[in-house]
């Protein structure tokens, strides 16, 4: 599963699991750091998803959008 | 004018009182746009174009009026016809009459035929397995919602308001269509075809926006006939054909339409569709902030524990014999270097704390031990002598002190066992 294909849900679930594991503790420093880095990356992914949902607000009548898409058609 | 809650003195003029009654009744939502069933009696159409009748059943009756041109009157309606009206309660002040102002009237048998067509369609869909087809779950965060609903409708305004409350600026495309009347189903089908195009990544890329990943199709409440487009096969088929999840959001809670049976998500009302598919952004942000804190805290704690272990090792080293020093020191150096590497990028503050540990480590360098009066014994080939077994009588060796060394030879060997 590549990061870009990861859905918000998957990223959020993995992030929760990582935080829970780190909170339980008992891991080596290398592993802790690796998990921290993965967690930080997942956080960024999730935050980016929030921003990605913002965008244009279109409100058109049916025929307006039909025309718009027609002129765009190849 | 005297309104509710105002203090009045003396008896009220009756006209004023009836006006108060009218105001109370017409402001009650339950009495507005209500579907009511009954039998037509005293049906009378006047030259003015208005029609008056009484709607009755065995338990009660009420006067009703259809203002000129207000709605289509089915030609089969006459004295005794069973009808369903959608009407608002009003009071005719001049006569003090309560009456129904009818916005829509349908004979029950006409409705019966429609119900039958709906039943057959559901049957057909069930046989084709469409009712049990796997549903697609809506995305956790929709990146581009398409909303197909009545242009300028109250339902649309409600949805827009709710989206803005939950996720300001959420990307969406509203396609305004007719949602009732003859052309409704055709327009809804055309609009759904457009959503399929907007869901196409190629088309979306050309438009410079993410593909549509959720479709909400619906309208606010109304009489069964108002909602009927959502029971018609062309609309149903195009909902099924959607490559992205479709939410059916038609009418009120109690209305069950065929579109509800085939959609990926059935929302009870348009507002409910938004509540079920648009998360509250502030809540997600708060949750992520929390995870951010917990992640940093848990990581810092693990490194803090490692530091405590180092401090413990340090204390043990201070009292360790010379032989142990190298082993402990190596493990400590390796821990230290791992820690250094680990903290390089993320935990600068940890590094400063480690630096202070490193400083104290310095104090237990072998040289410091030699200063305290210990000497290190080495054979000619440089091996550190750690026990008597490594020496033979007559063997030469070096003794290293803090400021230099001395050469010596073994003249006698005593082991602990002998001494005891």
- pLDDT tens per residue, range B93-143: 999 999 999 999 988 887 777 888 899 999 999 999 999 989 999 999 999
pLDDT tier for residue B71 given thresholds of 50, 70 and 90: confident
- Phi, psi for residue B293 in degrees, rounded to 5: -60, -50
Search chain A and give the residue with CA nearest B147: A59
Other C-beta atoms lying within 10 Å of the C-beta of residue B369: 19
Q: Exposed/middle/buried for B118, CB within 10 Å: 0-12, 13-18, 19+?
A: middle
Chain A hits for B141, CB-CB cut-off 8 Å, are 8, 49-50, 52-53
Residue B166 lies in a domain: yes
Q: Do B361 and B387 sit in the same domain of this protein? A: no
pLDDT digits (tens, 9 = 90+) for A21-70: 988 888 888 888 899 999 999 999 999 989 989 888 989 999 999 999 88
Q: What is the edge-to-edge ordering of all strands in the sheet holding B396-401?
A: B376-379, B396-401, B404-409
Among A44, A23, A61, smallest CA distance to B152 is for: A61
Q: Do B139 and B209 sit in the same domain of this protein? A: yes
Q: Do B292 and B271 sit in the same domain of this protein? A: no
Residue B115 lies in a domain: no
Final residue of a structural domain among B279, B301, B318: B279
Chain A hits for B198, CB-CB cut-off 8 Å, are 69
Q: How far apart are CA B172 and CA B170, in angstroms?
A: 6
CA distance A62 to chain B (A): 5
CATH code assigned at B29: 2.40.50.140
Decide if A66 and B190 are in contact by the 8 Å CB cutoff: yes
Contacts of B197 (CB under 8 A, 6+ apart): A69, B203
Q: Do B273 and B331 sit in the same domain of this protein? A: no
Range of B135's domain? Answer: 128-279
Search chain A and give the residue with CA nearest B143: A53
Residue with tokens 């990223």: A11
Residue B114 lies in a domain: no
pLDDT digits (tens, 9 = 90+) for B335-374: 777 766 666 656 666 666 667 767 766 666 777 778 878 8
Final residue of a structural domain among B256, B279, B302: B279
Residue B54 lies in a domain: yes
Query: Taking residues B390-404, what's their average pLDDT?
Result: 89
pLDDT at B225: 80
**Cβ atoms of B115 and B62 closer than 8 Å:** no
Contacts of B372 (CB under 8 A, 6+ apart): none
Residue B119 lies in a domain: no
The helix (H) or strand (E) run that includes residue B301 is helix B281-319
Q: Do B160 and B258 sit in the same domain of this protein? A: yes
Reply yes or no on whether the pLDDT at B276 is more than 90.
yes
Decide if B302 and A27 are in contact by the 8 Å CB cutoff: yes
Token reading at B347: 């935990």
DSSP-assigned beta bridge partners for residue B101: B65, B88
Q: Do B165 and B223 sit in the same domain of this protein? A: yes
CA angle B54, B74, B115 (to 5 degrees): 100
Q: How far apart are CA A23 and CA B404, in angstroms?
A: 52
Mutate to test the interface with A, among B175, B191, B244 (most CBs of A within 10 A): B175
pLDDT tier for residue B322 given thresholds of 50, 70 and 90: low
pLDDT at B4: 52
Mutate to test the interface with A, among B288, B296, B351 (most CBs of A within 10 A): B288
User: Within an 8 Å CB–CB cutoff, is residue B194 touching chain A?
Assistant: yes
DSSP state, residue B241: T
Strand pairing report for B51-57 and B34-45 = antiparallel
Of B5-9, B18-22, B249-253, least confident by mean pLDDT is: B5-9
Q: Do B239 and B275 sit in the same domain of this protein? A: yes
Q: How far apart are CA B197 and CA B202, in angstroms?
A: 9
Q: Do B287 and B273 sit in the same domain of this protein? A: no
DSSP state, residue B394: T
Chain B hits for A25, CB-CB cut-off 8 Å, are 298, 301-302, 305
Decide if B299 and A18 are in contact by the 8 Å CB cutoff: no
Residue B346 lies in a domain: yes
Token reading at B293: 């804190």
DSSP-assigned beta bridge partners for residue B176: A61, B149
Per cent of chain B over pLDDT 70 is 89
B1 or B289: which leads in pLDDT: B289
DSSP string, B132-177: GSPPPPPPSS-SSEEEEEETT-HHHHHHHHHHHHHSTTB-EEEEEE
Chain A hits for B288, CB-CB cut-off 8 Å, are 43, 46-47, 50
Q: SS3 for B254-287, per residue?
A: CCCCHHHHHCCEEECCHHHHHHHHCCCHHHHHHH
B232 or B305: which leads in pLDDT: B232
pLDDT at B1: 47
Sign of CA dihedral B178, B179, B181, B187: positive
pTM for this model (two decimals): 0.58
Question: Looking only at Cα atoms, what is the longest distance across chain A?
Answer: 63
Interface of A with B (CB under 8 A): 7-9, 12, 15-16, 18-19, 22-23, 25, 27, 29-30, 32-33, 35-37, 39-40, 43, 46-47, 49-50, 52-62, 65-66, 69, 72
Of B45-49, B149-153, B335-339, least confident by mean pLDDT is: B335-339
**Cβ atoms of B86 and B104 closer than 8 Å:** yes
Residues constituting chain A: 74
Sign of CA dihedral B284, B288, B290, B294: positive
Q: How far apart are CA B239 and CA B245, in angstroms?
A: 9
Decide if A50 and B203 are in contact by the 8 Å CB cutoff: no
Q: Do B366 and B389 sit in the same domain of this protein? A: no
CA distance A1 to chain B (A): 18
pLDDT at B64: 96
Q: Which contacts qualify for B295-298: CB closer than 8 Å, 24 or more apart?
A: B295/A15, B295/A18, B295/A19, B295/A22, B295/A36, B295/A39, B295/A40, B295/A43, B298/A19, B298/A22, B298/A23, B298/A25
Q: Do B53 and B178 sit in the same domain of this protein? A: no
Decide if B171 and A57 are in contact by the 8 Å CB cutoff: yes
pLDDT at A3: 36
pLDDT at A4: 42
Q: SS3 for B85-115, per residue?
A: EEEEEEEECCCCEEEEEEEEEEEHHHHHHHH
Q: Do B195 and B240 sit in the same domain of this protein? A: yes
Count each helix (H run) and each strand (E run) in chain A, helices first: 3, 1
Token reading at B278: 């648009």
Q: Do B184 and B242 sit in the same domain of this protein? A: yes
CA angle B334, B336, B341 (to 5 degrees): 95
Other C-beta atoms lying within 10 Å of the C-beta of residue A64: 13
Q: Reduced to 3 DSSP states, what percent helix, strand and coil does chain B have, rounded to the nearest 5?
A: 45, 20, 35
Residue B63 lies in a domain: yes
Query: Number of structural domains, chain B?
Result: 4
Residue with tokens 């008056």: B52
Residue B134 lies in a domain: yes
Decide if B175 and A65 are in contact by the 8 Å CB cutoff: yes
Among B289, B294, B297, smallest CA distance to B347 is for: B297
């Amino acid at each position: 599963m590549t990061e870009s294909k990861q859905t918000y849900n998957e990223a959020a679930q993995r992030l929760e699991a990582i935080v829970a594991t780190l909170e339980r503790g008992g891991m080596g420093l290398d592993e802790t750091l690796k998990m921290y880095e993965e967690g930080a990356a997942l956080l960024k992914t999730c935050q980016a998803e929030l921003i990605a949902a913002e965008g244009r607000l279109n409100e058109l009548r049916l025929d307006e959008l039909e025309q718009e898409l027609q002129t765009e058609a190849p | 004018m005297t309104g509710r809650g105002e203090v009045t003195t003396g008896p009220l003029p009756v006209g004023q009182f009836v006006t108060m009654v009218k105001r109370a009744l017409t402001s009650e939502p339950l009495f507005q746009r209500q579907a009511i069933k009954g039998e037509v009696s005293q049906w009378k159409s006047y030259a003015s174009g208005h029609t008056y009748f009484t709607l009755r059943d065995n338990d009660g009756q009420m006067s009703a009026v259809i203002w000129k041109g207000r709605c289509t009157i089915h030609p089969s309606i006459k004295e005794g016809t069973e009808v369903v009206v959608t009407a608002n309660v009003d009071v005719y002040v001049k006569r003090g009459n309560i009456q129904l102002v009818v916005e829509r009237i349908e004979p029950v048998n006409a409705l019966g035929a429609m119900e039958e067509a709906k039943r057959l369609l559901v049957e057909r869909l069930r046989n084709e397995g469409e009712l049990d087809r796997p549903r697609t779950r809506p995305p956790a965060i929709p990146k581009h919602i398409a909303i197909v609903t009545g242009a300028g409708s109250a339902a649309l305004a409600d949805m827009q308001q709710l989206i803005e409350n939950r996720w300001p600026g959420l990307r969406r495309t509203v396609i305004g269509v007719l949602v009732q009347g003859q052309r409704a189903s055709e327009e809804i089908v055309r609009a759904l075809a457009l959503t399929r195009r907007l869901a196409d990544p190629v088309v979306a890329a050309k438009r410079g926006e993410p593909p549509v990943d959720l479709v909400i199709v619906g309208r606010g409440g109304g009489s069964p006939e108002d909602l009927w487009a959502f029971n018609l096969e062309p609309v149903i088929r195009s909902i099924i054909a959607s490559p992205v999840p479709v939410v059916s959001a038609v009418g009120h809670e109690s209305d069950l339409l065929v579109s509800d049976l085939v959609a990926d998500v059935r929302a009870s009302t348009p507002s409910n569709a938004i509540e079920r598919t648009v998360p509250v952004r502030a809540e997600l942000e708060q949750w992520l902030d929390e995870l951010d804190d917990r992640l940093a805290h848990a990581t810092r704690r693990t490194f803090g524990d490692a530091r405590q272990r180092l401090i413990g090792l340090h204390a043990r080293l201070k009292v360790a014999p010379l032989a142990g020093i190298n082993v402990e020191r190596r493990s400590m150096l390796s821990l230290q270097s791992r820690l250094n590497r680990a903290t390089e990028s993320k935990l600068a503050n940890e590094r400063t704390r480690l630096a202070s540990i490193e400083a104290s480590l310095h104090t237990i360098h072998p040289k410091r031990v030699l200063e305290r009066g210990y000497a290190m014994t080495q054979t000619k080939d440089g091996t550190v002598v750690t026990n008597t077994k490594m020496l033979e009588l007559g063997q030469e060796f070096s003794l290293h002190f803090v400021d230099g060394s001395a050469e010596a030879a073994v003249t006698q060997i005593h082991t602990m066992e002998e001494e005891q």
